[in-house]
Structure 1
Amino acid sequence: MLEQLDAVFLARVQFAFTVSFHFIFPAFSIGLASYLMVLEGLWLKTGRGVYANLYRYWMKIFAVGFGMGVVSGVVLSYQFGTNWSVFSTKAGAIVGPLMGYEVITAFFLEAGFLGVMLFGISKVGKRLHFFATCMVALGTFISAFWILSVNSWMQTPAGFEINEQGQFVVGGSWWDVIFNPSFPYRLAHTVIAAYLTTAFAVGGVGAWHLLKDRSNPGARKMFSMAMWMAVVVTPIQIVAGDLHGLNTLEHQPVKVLAMEGDFDPSPDGAPLILFGLPDQETAQVHYKVAIPKLGSLVLKHDPNAPLPGLTDYPREDWPPVAVVFWSFRVMVAIGLAMLALGLWSLIARRRKRLFESRALHRTAVLMGPAGFVAVIAGWITTEVGRQPFTVYGLLRTAESASPLDAPAVATSLIAFILVYSAVFGAGIYYLLRLMGQPPHRGETEPSHVPVRAAGITPAASMEAAWAKGGAADGKH
């Protein structure tokens, strides 16, 4: 049976499986590192122990998630050499350096200061420790910068030329390669998505503990901060998504038409298809529910603007329409649900029921994993929508794979599924166990006593405050 499967398809499935596991951890780490930076900054500014307690609480979770993200990411690099060697040969002169910059400028920064952040509280002062936290947060952002630059170049290649060996090389400046046409939009959309993913995860954890004890100060604070993020950042993400969509329509129109399910051209304005069953063979959407002219209003900001259809492009250049169509709707639906929850929390806050509404808390718990689902759906929309190309319009996926037999790829895929399910299943279970523990109820504050007069160093005083909070955490 393995011989009947297509090696390229199996290689795609393998990369999709491993990158899906990987993607959820950086999406969480990017947002959580910034959240930790905010918590420590508020603690140092206000002296309120609730921020110190929440910093300790989420730092442990960040450490586990960061480690799982690193381990899961290493596998992806190897697949470029095993399953996608032709792609590596043709595009390596551009993709390789960009990924190398990510290691040099981001990973070393994160890894170096992560040790100070996790273990240096008794060795360094408050300001230096806060600086380390800021550097870890900056490192996660820089890492996203370079990886998204690589991905964006594959989506909208620029600044290159093709040499006599058929390889992509830099043709102008690296500036044109890095800041390719879709990169700024993709960077903003993805990073904001990471912040929202973290916000709803934090909000879900806070709501879970509020359902058990609505007086817990840590749960109240984390839930309040998360809901402010939902109110403020979700509308920003919707605007960023709209701008990203307009950019995609300009540079990758076939992808957008697949997202919208527009098989036929619409010279007088395209409808917005809410639901339906796309049929790629017959080039139509069955049982569709559509709103006339709204598609052109969304995509062109003009209800009467003409739009092409997929039938205006060669069928061999179409992506799998049904997958792109539905993954896009999942992402949008979750975004609207996030906005609705944020507005609900704002109403509850104004009515002074933010910590009293159990219905709101239950909904927030259900929405806790929503950000992870949304980023995976968005990734599927982006990557499957790019098919059948690895470098859009220039290098096809079928021409990028290594000359491997299907059984070899299938065997490694099965191995990945088994190992990932065991290792990362255990890791995720442990993360949920950590999240299930309530935040410390007391407020362990940093000492403001003139400690040198007492014969102890500021670092020792700070460590004592943290140790006191950790011991108290263990009692709960």
Structure 2
Amino acid sequence: METFLGFDALILARVQFAFTVAFHFIFPAFSIGLASYLAVLNGMFLWTKDEAYLRLFKFWLKIFAISFAMGVVSGLVMSYQFGTNWSVFSDRTGPVLGPLMAYEVLTAFFLEAGFLGIMLFGREKVGHGLHMFACVMVAGGTAVSATWILSVNSWMHTPQGFSINEVGQFVPENWWEIVFNPSFPYRLAHTLTAAYLTTAFVVGGVGAWHLLHGRHDNRGVRTMFSMAMWMIVVTAPLQIILGHEHGLNTYEYQPTKVLAMEGHFESQEDGIPLVLFGIPDQEAGELRYSIEIPRIGGPILNKGWDASLAGLDTVPDELEPPVAVVFWSFRIMVGIGLLMLGVGLWGLWSRWKGRLYEAPWLHRAALVMGPSGFVAMIAGWITTEVGRQPFVVYGEMFTAEAVSAIAAPAVGASLIAFIVIYFAVFGAGVIYLLRLMAHPPEKGETGPESEPGPIRSAGLTGKSPETGEPGPEPHPAE
């Protein structure tokens, strides 16, 4: 078998897809949360006429525009791999997954694209009402996009509503069962909440950065940090609950994945321990140096304290996922989730004590945790997708059957090209985003427009947009 640097075409194709998805995933997830945050900011501005909300809206709108663009570009590049590296998968699952992907474009992408221009540039051209409607539509479009994509991905994990024809293609029989497959509601709730939590930590991290730099008197900085802390304290515990429910659903339909997540190589007869840490040794079929809490794993899995569990020793070796990868990625995700909860509770305590803006150690923690949501999401995605192996459609189609008949050197060369180009292009984009975040939201903050324009119909500028004559005084932001 032809290889490239010792790797065959299957491994290289999987690494290439994982690399491009990891880059792509962070931008849409950030866009989902940030679009909703922008809609809230714009709504608060229209409701309160407080210029601080408008200042924050314009500050984050520029960041959203760049993130959205990078998400679109990285997604387009990623999709080409279905035809190059995974053509067999596309051919066999196309009758089921093709329409779902098309619905995502026809609904969500058109909704986002249709209203994005109004959201970015239309405040002074269409009035505040239609502009607010555009903000809501863009936020809704990002959530609808996630809904279709997660339906596709969930069907690959819990396939139903199909038959297989004489040439091996998956043929739809019941679209309701296909779209609303068993893991879809849990995966959708868990992922959307992760997007909102991730965005809250980015916003909180930026606010913490400016507070640490002595900008305590900036209303925009204080407002963004306060809003982020409220969002974190609400969504962090919710995400833990949703994650637990998602785990129970996974145990019902993909028990092997949960066994790998928990490191249960051996079957348990008298109570299921909760494994905290250990070193998985898949060849030996054991978890070395394990640290466990006896029996508590049973109630966590909705079993009794004395429940039994069939371990990986009952699963054929060829059907086991790479246990070490799944085991550690799961712990990274859970560990970050607990740290997020800790920051949220810390912020709540500081708020109750009246020291939310004068708590430098909280600000340092929020700054360090700023990118933690992205790490947790990628770790969770690795847990989900690697834990599904060796199947690409769980229980129905092996990953090895889905890869194209393509030479390993060709895949390897394109992988190297992707790595170089992605780090150059998207690395530059991320650096630019960080530079935008490093500047505090000031009075007179401009949006993506080339220059600030008058704010019509709200009486918040010194001159009338129609006549240029002096108008009512602006509402004080400070």
Give your verdict on TM over 0.5. yes
Gaps of 5+ in 2: 447-453
Aligned to 2:186: 185
Between the aligned partners of 1:420 and 1:369, the Cα distance in structure 2 is 19
Map of 1:421 onto structure 2:
423
Letter in 1 for 2:193: I
2:186 maps to a residue whose letter is Y
Matched with 1:397 is 399
Aligned length: 464
> Aligned in 2, Cα 1:39/1:459: closer, same or farther, shift over 3 Å?
farther
* Structure-2 change in CA distance of 1:449 and 1:134 (3 Å): closer
Question: Which deviates further from its counterpart, 374-383 or 2-11?
Answer: 2-11
Rounded to whole Å, the distance in 1 between the matches of 2:375 and 2:415 is 22
Alignment correspondent of 2:224: 222
Task: For 1:363-374, list aligned pairs within 5 A.
Answer: 363-374=365-376
The match for 1:210 is 211
User: What's the CA shift for 1:301?
Assistant: 5.0
Specify the alignment match of 1:290 in structure 2. 292
Q: CA deviation at 1:305?
A: 2.3
Q: Counterparts of 1:281-360 in structure 2 under 5 Å?
A: 281-300=283-302, 302-360=304-362
- Runs of 5+ consecutive residues of structure 1 not aligned to the other structure: 470-476
Any residues of structure 2 matched to 1:446-465 within 5 Å, and which?
456-457=465-466
Matched with 1:167 is 169
Q: Which residue of 1 aligns with 2:202?
A: 201
Are the equivalent residues in 2 in contact too, given 1:317–1:387 (CA < 8 A)? yes
The amino acid across from 2:37 in the alignment is Y
Pick aligned residue for 1:96 from 95, 98, 102: 98
Q: Is the 8 Å Cα contact of residues 274 and 290 (structure 1) preserved in structure 2?
A: yes
Per the TM alignment, residue 315 of structure 1 is displaced from its structure 2 partner at its CA by 1.3
The whole-number CA distance in structure 2 between the counterparts of 1:93 and 1:267 is 44
Tell whether 2:436 aligns with 1:438.
Answer: no
What do residues 251-284 of structure 1 show as CA deviations (whole Å, max 9, x unaligned)? Answer: 0000000000001111222111111100100110
SS at match of 1:4: coil
Question: Which residue is 1:246 aligned to?
Answer: 248
CA distance in 2, matches of 1:137, 1:11: 33
Identity of aligned residues (%): 63
Structure-2 residue corresponding to 1:32: 34
- The residue aligned with 1:472 is none
Output the CA distance in 2 between the equivalents of 1:282 and 1:40.
58
Higher mean displacement: 56-65 or 232-241 = 232-241
Structure 1 Cα separation of the partners of residues 183 and 321 of structure 2: 19
Residue 71 of structure 1 corresponds to which residue in structure 2?
A: 73
Give the Å deviation of 1:302. Answer: 3.1
Q: Deviations over 1:140-183 (max 9, x none)?
A: 00000000000000000010100111100112x21110000000
Letter in 2 for 1:328: F
* RMSD (Å) for aligned C-alpha atoms: 2.3
Runs of 4 or more above 6 Å deviation: 442-445, 447-451, 458-462
Distance 1:257 1:51 in 2: 48
8 A Cα contact 2:455 2:465, kept in partner: no
- Distance in 1, matches of 2:42 and 2:317, equals 54
Q: Structure 2 CA distance, aligned partners of 1:423 and 1:223? A: 30
SS in structure 2 at match of 1:2: coil
Distance 1:114 1:460 in 2: 31
Q: CA deviation at 1:429?
A: 0.4
Alpha-carbon shift at residue 303 of structure 1 (Å): 2.4
> What per-residue deviation string (whole Å, max 9, x for no partner) do you get for residues 280-300 of structure 1?
001101111111112222122
One-letter amino acid matched to 1:343: L
Write out per-residue CA displacement over residues 217-263 of structure 1, whole angstroms, 9 at most, x where no aligned residue.
11111111111111111111111111100000000000000000001
Q: 2:413 — aligned with what?
A: 411
Structure with bigger helix share is 1
Cα deviation, residue 307, structure 1: 1.8
Contact 1:29 1:62 in 2 (8 A): yes
Contact 1:186 1:244 (C-alpha < 8 Å) held by counterparts: yes
